[in-house]
Chains A and B, each alone.
Chain A
């Protein structure tokens, strides 16, 4: 049973229940609207309505799974950074579960803080930027399935969004625009420089990133997550496309803005970069979404290079996928806490002079392997 069927059963049952109540109510009031009750009830029971509601329920389930994962990620990040830095990390709030509730407590704290909009800020852009940032990041997750059965599907067959990988990267690339918008509309020099850096940085890493992904498409011959993962049933693409995997990891670290590449929010020189003027829950959303993007990055690396949900059947597919995504995230965080930050011209050099040629070499290797008929 896939997620669509599961949600469909729940929705059909719910619609049935509500319709029973509704018709029962209509029996008492037949003189009021005549056919109104039966008309609405039939509309609710129609196939189109049930399909829409099922997809919405699927999205809700995927969203909740993603948010729980993000809370886990923040907790892992804090614990891991504690281990790297020679201290314990959070342990007091929820001490029986290793301080896991600290994130929830921080979220509550940010939630009750005052939300300030600077007087001279461009109000529309200032309010719109977090919305675009958060929604585009959640949009990535809508396309990433945790297994062949667990993802946002649109019909009974469980077919996911067509060309889902392309869609995920398109959604991934929206965020720098919102960062630029936030930096510009805050009317602050630090945020402006941060936003400009974000745009410059995106130029340098987006092309090698997509070239590395193109090599995966070349080998798998499919744009969808299921096709890419099924093509890796025999061997993970990280092994033949080792160079591409490294390029992808570096670029995804730049994409989710962790420390070697967190130039837009470089705290030493730009205070807090483009988030300087944001406070309260708006900042909390930025904070949470950056970890969400870390989760998305780990999930993409898993699906494209680490064999997705392929693994011995002792543990369920979804858990395999999450384990791999968590490991990728931990590697990125390890890099984050132990490396200094590169300079803005150096990241451009790195992107154009190192990663781009490497990605091209990787594409050539992939094309060669495809020509030899190995995949």
Chain B
């Protein structure tokens, strides 16, 4: 094999591939990648430190800003952490409402991923369609909470308010619409020979590698590990729901795509079940102002992987420490394992398939 001069290419911090603000340095030999090195931290806002100076309810809007793609799941995770710290029991109706909004957020987040992935592969139509249909769920969540992206809807001890009138009917209609659209997407993407050529066998990640590197979420499930916190450590009302853990064994980009598509189908099922089973009653309990001295911890299945928060209370109305575990931070650290040996054009497919979100990554 002839070797030519190798050179480092900075893909970032401002590059169409990055979906945010980070830098992937790749060392290329011609078009083949021989080394890769992710650099993150360009979007560091010191959120963990900001949280220490705010009272417990004031932190919720900050945690919304962790991820622009799925802010609901992060504020929900924070509320669960503080509920664990305070020892609160959430009313049953609030648990079901949370399941509905979380699954909607999951669909919206996966659709944004699908749109960005399409434009990474050069398919503009997929981008526009994904963003258009994401708008349906964004609108529903806006009707519910008042804002499009950063919802600030969950509260410590429940949710901010009950569902608006007719909102559940609209949600069911949105699920019907979404399932119809998902069939269209599967035709558009998998019906395209070029899409399959770009995805199958690209970015292989073995099951053992995924588990050793701490990769979670859809990339891990696409590698054959059947592990989903909603099923394995059920929180909220997920224990009552009937759904499948979507998993594939191939471990390539197509498997990751397929896992996310299957998750959208399952999310539609979960939303339907949760709305039908939703009991009447209170949707919020009043949380105390001060948390006791001690620790609280919660883990949830974020659309991008396993999110975890750890809070330390010291008896005042502010957290002494709040630690955030970001799934993407771990996944992007594993990037060299994915990338070496593939072409430059595969970088966008592989990194796009991981669904990067820099907000939660850099915190």
Q: Which B residues lie within 8 Å of A344 (CB)? A: 31, 343, 345
Given known A-B contacts A86-B129, A266-B122, A269-B348, A340 and B7 have beta carbons under 8 A apart: no
- Residue of A with least CB distance to B8: A189
Q: Which residues of chain A (220-267) have a CB below 8 Å from chain B?
A: 259-260, 262-263, 266-267
Q: Which B residues lie within 8 Å of A342 (CB)? A: 194, 197-198
Q: Which B residues lie within 8 Å of A18 (CB)? A: none
Q: Which B residues lie within 8 Å of A345 (CB)? A: 31, 343
CA distance A84 to B132 in the complex (A): 13
Contact call A337/B124, Cβ cutoff below 8 A: yes
Contact call B348/A268, Cβ cutoff below 8 A: yes
Contact call A268/B31, Cβ cutoff below 8 A: no
- Which one of A84, A189, A262, A267 lies within 8 Å of B125 (CB-CB)? A84
Q: Which residues of chain B (281-322) have a CB below 8 Å from chain A?
A: none
A81 on the B face (CB < 8 A): yes
Contact call A341/B121, Cβ cutoff below 8 A: yes
A339 on the B face (CB < 8 A): yes
Q: Which residues of chain A (146-199) have a CB below 8 Å from chain B?
A: 189-190, 193, 197
Contact call B194/A339, Cβ cutoff below 8 A: yes
CA distance A271 to B125 in the complex (A): 19
Given known A-B contacts A84-B125, A86-B128, A340 and B192 have beta carbons under 8 A apart: yes
CA distance A339 to B123 in the complex (A): 5
- Residue of A with least CB distance to B202: A343
CA distance A327 to B24 in the complex (A): 42
- Which one of A189, A268, A338 lies within 8 Å of B9 (CB-CB)? A189
A375 on the B face (CB < 8 A): no
Contact call A343/B345, Cβ cutoff below 8 A: yes
CA distance A186 to B164 in the complex (A): 58
* Known A268-B17, A269-B348; 5 more pairs at CB < 8 Å: A84-B125, A189-B9, A341-B198, A341-B345, A345-B343
CA distance A338 to B125 in the complex (A): 5
Q: Which B residues lie within 8 Å of A87 (CB)? A: 128
- Residue of A with least CB distance to B118: A340
In the assembled complex, the CB of A243 is this many whole angstroms from the nearest CB of chain B, namely: 18
Q: Which residues of chain B (3-47) have a CB below 8 Å from chain A?
A: 7, 9, 11, 15-17, 28, 31
B195 on the A face (CB < 8 A): yes
Given known A-B contacts A86-B132, A87-B128, A268-B348, A343 and B122 have beta carbons under 8 A apart: no
- Residue of A with least CB distance to B349: A343
B228 on the A face (CB < 8 A): no
A-B contacts, 17 listed (Cβ < 8 Å): A81-B124, A85-B124, A85-B129, A193-B9, A197-B31, A260-B122, A263-B345, A269-B11, A269-B17, A338-B125, A340-B123, A340-B198, A341-B121, A341-B194, A343-B346, A345-B343, A346-B197
Contact call A269/B194, Cβ cutoff below 8 A: no
- Which one of A193, A260, A271 lies within 8 Å of B31 (CB-CB)? A193
Q: Which B residues lie within 8 Å of A267 (CB)? A: 16, 122
Where the two chains meet, the residues of B that have a C-beta atom closer than 8 Å to any C-beta of A are 7, 9, 11, 15-17, 28, 31, 118-126, 128-129, 132, 188, 192, 194-195, 197-198, 343-348
Q: Which B residues lie within 8 Å of A81 (CB)? A: 124
Q: Which residues of chain A (334-358) have a CB below 8 Å from chain B?
A: 337-346
CA distance A84 to B11 in the complex (A): 31
Interface of B is mostly: helix
Contact call B197/A271, Cβ cutoff below 8 A: no
Contact call B16/A268, Cβ cutoff below 8 A: yes
CA distance A341 to B16 in the complex (A): 15
Given known A-B contacts A189-B9, A268-B119, A269-B345, A339 and B192 have beta carbons under 8 A apart: yes
Contact call A271/B16, Cβ cutoff below 8 A: yes
In the assembled complex, the CB of B148 is this many whole angstroms from the nearest CB of chain A, namely: 19
CA distance A312 to B249 in the complex (A): 59
Q: Which residues of chain A (103-136) have a CB below 8 Å from chain B?
A: none
CA distance A154 to B236 in the complex (A): 83
In the assembled complex, the CB of B84 is this many whole angstroms from the nearest CB of chain A, namely: 42
**Max chain A CB contacts within 10 Å: which of B126, B195, B197?**
B197
Contact call A189/B343, Cβ cutoff below 8 A: no
CA distance A332 to B193 in the complex (A): 17
CA distance A283 to B305 in the complex (A): 42
Given known A-B contacts A342-B198, A344-B31, A268 and B121 have beta carbons under 8 A apart: yes
In the assembled complex, the CB of B116 is this many whole angstroms from the nearest CB of chain A, namely: 10
CA distance A262 to B9 in the complex (A): 20
Q: Which A residues lie within 8 Å of B128 (CB)? A: 85-87
- Which one of A86, A189, A259 lies within 8 Å of B122 (CB-CB)? A259
CA distance A197 to B348 in the complex (A): 17
Q: Which residues of chain A (85-102) have a CB below 8 Å from chain B?
A: 85-87
- Residue of B with least CB distance to A200: B31
In the assembled complex, the CB of B292 is this many whole angstroms from the nearest CB of chain A, namely: 50
Q: Which A residues lie within 8 Å of B343 (CB)? A: 343-345
Contact call B120/A268, Cβ cutoff below 8 A: yes
CA distance A346 to B343 in the complex (A): 11
CA distance A252 to B103 in the complex (A): 46
Q: Which A residues lie within 8 Å of B344 (CB)? A: 193, 269-270
**Max chain A CB contacts within 10 Å: which of B15, B122, B343?**
B122
- Residue of B with least CB distance to A262: B122
CA distance A271 to B15 in the complex (A): 6
Q: Which A residues lie within 8 Å of B15 (CB)? A: 271
Q: Which A residues lie within 8 Å of B345 (CB)? A: 263, 266, 269, 341, 343-344
Given known A-B contacts A342-B197, A345-B343, A268 and B7 have beta carbons under 8 A apart: no
Q: Which A residues lie within 8 Å of B195 (CB)? A: 340
CA distance A101 to B344 in the complex (A): 39
Contact call B129/A343, Cβ cutoff below 8 A: no
- Which one of A193, A270, A343 lies within 8 Å of B198 (CB-CB)? A343
- Which one of B9, B122, B132, B347 lies within 8 Å of A340 (CB-CB)? B122
- Residue of A with least CB distance to B14: A271
Q: Which B residues lie within 8 Å of A86 (CB)? A: 128-129, 132
8 closest residue pairs by CB, A with B: A341-B122, A340-B121, A85-B128, A340-B123, A343-B345, A268-B348, A268-B120, A338-B125
**Max chain B CB contacts within 10 Å: which of A269, A344, A345, A346?**
A269
Q: Which A residues lie within 8 Å of B126 (CB)? A: 340
CA distance A190 to B345 in the complex (A): 12
